Amino acid sequence: MNNDNINAAPRGLAILAIVGPAFVWCAEYIGSGEVILATRMGAVLGYTVLWAPVIGIILKYCIGLCGARYTVCTGEGMIDMFSRMPGRGNWAVWIVLIIQFIAGAISIGSIASAAGVFANSIIPVKPFIWGWVITIFAIFVVWSGKFNIIKYIMSVLVFIIIFGVLYVAIHTFPGFSELFKGLIGFEVPEYPSWAKGMGGLSDSPWNEILPLIGWAAGGFASQVWYTYWVLGAGYGMAQGRKYGEPCDIATLKNMTAETAKKVKGWCNVVYVDATVAMIIGLFVTLGFMLAGSGILQPEHIAPEGPSVAIELSNIFGKMWGSAGAYLFMIVGCAALISTLIGQFAGWPRLIADSLRICIPKFNKKFRWSTQFRIFVIIFFITNIIIVFSLGIKPVLLVKIGAIFDGLLLTPLQAIFILIGLVWVLPKLVSAEAWKILKPHWIFVVGLIVAALVFGYFCIFQIPAII
């Protein structure tokens, strides 16, 4: 690529006109974490734990934003960044490949299972059959690339559930004193007496808190995928680039100060784009928690098992009767299907990207699109098995998926991105470009805090709930 061909970034309010990756990010992660986990935690633990998803969303916002910033500056995705970590043998990518393959299989299976349960509540066909049908539909969309019509339909339905939940949250609002106490109190309360002994509850409240932190704003994979969506949008040095290829080092080494200033302008676009995703994530997640606390907790309902969709539908049913409950099940199912489509578009891409680096012969033998479809088929097979065998336990599956994808690798992800920004990037770009593209200290601090906080959860809290 010729450095001079980089387009100038829009400025001011014009940036909002090209915000796009944020909405793809939101469409992918607004699903089981919000519809099921946030609502359930609000019902069981109430307003006192509002701080948990806020911490998860803000820290993952920092991780996703910094990863996307690297992509804007280099034109390569996060997995290629991981391949440049110090040491030999692509060790960082191997770790991602192994753990994310397991996390992908479990997470995709959990979403399909939950969607099957929601669909069963609408039309009474066995949940595992619905799970299979929805999986096949998601694969058709991903395989054919016919996203546009589906995207508009799903977006409308997801908007309905977001609007409805926020409406319920406003009407059951506990007051600002309770809200602030829940946001800054950092309290880990005991289960209420009515919830003790109910199905799905362990001895520790962290069993409810950690999965929501894990999937608030998506997990490890969502932050990787965000760099893919930025690549697709063509921001900065991603202009004209393709998925599944490393950066053009010669071009970066010859980057002029003028080009670097253009790229920095695109970094500003990413800051706005990622911030939009964070704001949406905060409002939606907190809205579901407040709705669960305001509607389900007084009814002593802790959604669990095959009846989870019907139990959750009380959120709309309390306000708008049986029609509202039915609407919730429809739009909840749509949100889960939208997430499933995003996962089938993202996880095979992530695994193919990792395998391309770890086993170069595989990359030479198959085109990138073929690699992607191979893993779509593999995840289809694992999905069929998981949905059939564990489909009646959607909440349990969602929690396991959240731990595997949202927490286990996230501390390493923050560390890898920090190394990418302060050690890898200056080696890739020219000296004059580095002076302009050097990241602000706030990004460094944010990534360090993210690594420490998620590291604490992994080292001290996850073992306590296993």
Tens-place pLDDT, residues 207-239: 999 999 998 888 999 999 999 999 989 999 999
- Phi, psi of 20, rounded to the nearest 5 degrees: -145, -55
Of 18-22, 46-50, 108-112, 445-449, where does mean pLDDT reach its minimum?
A: 18-22
Question: How far from the centroid of its chain's Cα atoms is residue 39's Cα?
Answer: 17
Distance CA 210, CA 115 (A): 22
Q: Is the pLDDT of residue 17 over 70?
A: yes
Q: What is the pLDDT of residue 34?
A: 82
pLDDT tier, 163 (very low <50, low <70, confident <90, very high otherwise): confident
Q: What is the pLDDT of residue 154?
A: 66
Q: What is the pLDDT of residue 248?
A: 94
Distance CA 388, CA 369 (A): 29
Q: Is the pLDDT of residue 326 over 80?
A: yes
Name the residue with higher pLDDT: 181 or 466. 181
Yes or no: say if 384 and 132 are a contact pair by the CB < 8 Å rule: yes
Measuring CA to CA, how many Å separate 132 from each of 136, 233, 245, 380, 388? Answer: 6, 32, 33, 9, 8
- 404 by DSSP, 3-state: which? helix
Mean predicted lDDT score pLDDT of the chain: 90
pLDDT tier, 273 (very low <50, low <70, confident <90, very high otherwise): very high
Measuring CA to CA, how many Å separate 354 from each of 96, 106, 416? Answer: 7, 18, 15
- The mean pLDDT value for 80-104 works out to 96
Q: What is the pLDDT of residue 199?
A: 58
Distance CA 282, CA 57 (A): 7
CA neighbours within 13 Å on the CB side: how many for 144? Answer: 11
CA neighbours within 13 Å on the CB side: how many for 380? Answer: 17
Q: Is the pLDDT of residue 19 over 90?
A: no
Domains by residue range for the chain, with CATH: 3-465 (1.20.1740.10)
- The mean pLDDT value for 93-98 works out to 97
